[in-house]
Amino acid sequence: MYDSKKVRMNRLFRAGKCLDVAIDHGVCNEPTFLDGLEDMARVVGMLAAAGPDAIQMNFGQADLLREIPGKAKPALVLRVDMGNPYNRLRHREMWAVLQNTQDPVLPAVQLDAACVVVNLFMLPDEPGLFRQCVENIARIRRDCETYAMPLMIEPLVMQANSERGGYLVDGDADKIVTLVRLAREMGADIIKADPTSDPRDFHRVIEAARCPVLVRGGGKADLRQVFANSHELMKQGAHGMVYGRNIYQHDAPARVVRALMAMIHDGASDAAAWHLYETGA
């Protein structure tokens, strides 16, 4: 029997591993996220040429990937929701809504996406936001089953909004594991999880997920440290990475992609990945 979901999963994961480059930041309504994404046609063309496994986008920009000719191009991961926890100032009302309320997964089918991704926000003292996310996932899961579309859930445990701006990641392993388990219970086919504060604890996230786990990159950081953390997370059982700002906000995004692909698919060490990045080999 033909299994459309398995076909899509195989398109996203090569030998069980994946690098997904996220450029879906426009719906966050946060100006600093757009640095490096001003010319989306250029960015998509450059990333497609660099050859990651997937590019994560929103509906309104996905035509740029669809229109690239040929079969040898990254798979599309389509974001189907949006929310407002990313801004520097706390909003009076926190929300997360589906981008298409009538048939949220149909655009992913029409665009030949490999999977859809949706948030599961856990913010301090924001139970209404959490409930909205649960309702979104319940709706999305039903449609994913209808269309045989893999469902990626992004469980986000965040600290209270601080003077540094925005709800920053809470790397507490117990909290991340608990929310990842909830995402799996709700039917995730793929988990996109924040790294634990100590990367050596990430094996607990893998155990809780019981499905492929991709590590969320978060804010831009020192690239050498990103490579070191990525190497340790892969050792702990991660199936790959979803990096955005740590790729597109660097001076040489294509070299970052090649280095990460070597680490994820070829088992390169962080030192070897850094050498690839520096030399452009």
> Which structural domain, as residue segments, surrounds residue 216?
4-279
Reading the block at residue 161, the tokens are: 């909004």
DSSP 53: S
pLDDT at 164: 54
**Domain tally, the chain:** 1
pLDDT at 160: 81
pLDDT at 238: 98
pLDDT at 1: 47
Distances in Å between the Cα of 11 and the Cα atoms of 69, 126, 172, 197, 224 are 17, 36, 33, 31, 29
Reading the block at residue 160, the tokens are: 């209270």
Along the 281 residues of the chain, how does pLDDT read in single tens digits?
458 899 999 999 999 999 999 999 988 888 888 899 999 999 999 999 999 999 999 999 999 999 998 888 999 999 999 998 887 777 788 899 999 888 999 999 999 999 999 999 999 889 999 999 999 999 999 999 999 999 999 999 988 876 555 667 889 999 999 999 999 999 999 999 999 999 999 999 999 999 999 999 877 889 999 999 999 999 999 999 999 999 999 989 999 999 999 999 999 999 999 999 999 76
Residues 6+ positions from 92 with CB-CB distance below 8 Å = none
**CATH number for position 139:** 3.20.20.70
* Stated pTM of the model: 0.95
